[in-house]
Amino acid sequence: MKHEAHGTQQPRHINMIGEGMSAAQRSDSLVQLINQHFLKYLEKRECEKIHIERKQTC
């Protein structure tokens, strides 16, 4: 029989993405993700614009 010290807890799996994070941390993560996506979109458009002028592809 296995004995544990009083007050110890069994480890558990995290069931949800972001569990254990505050609402502010989740919001910051979402904003960062959106900003990264938007910047990549802008970079791609700028690249396409330059290459269209030069008749090249990205």
Give the model confidence (pLDDT) of 1-58 as tens digits: 566 666 777 776 655 665 677 777 778 888 999 999 999 999 999 988 888 878 766 6
- What is the model's pLDDT at position 58? 60
Whether the pTM exceeds 0.95: the reply is no
R_g over Cα of the chain: 24
Which tokens belong to 9?
């807890």
Q: Cα–Cα distance between 23 and 20 in angstroms, integer?
A: 9
What pLDDT is stored for residue 56 in this prediction?
66
Q: What is the pLDDT of residue 57?
A: 60
Give every CB contact of residue 58 below 8 A, 6+ residues apart in sequence: 44, 47, 48, 51
Q: Where are the domains of the chain?
A: 22-58
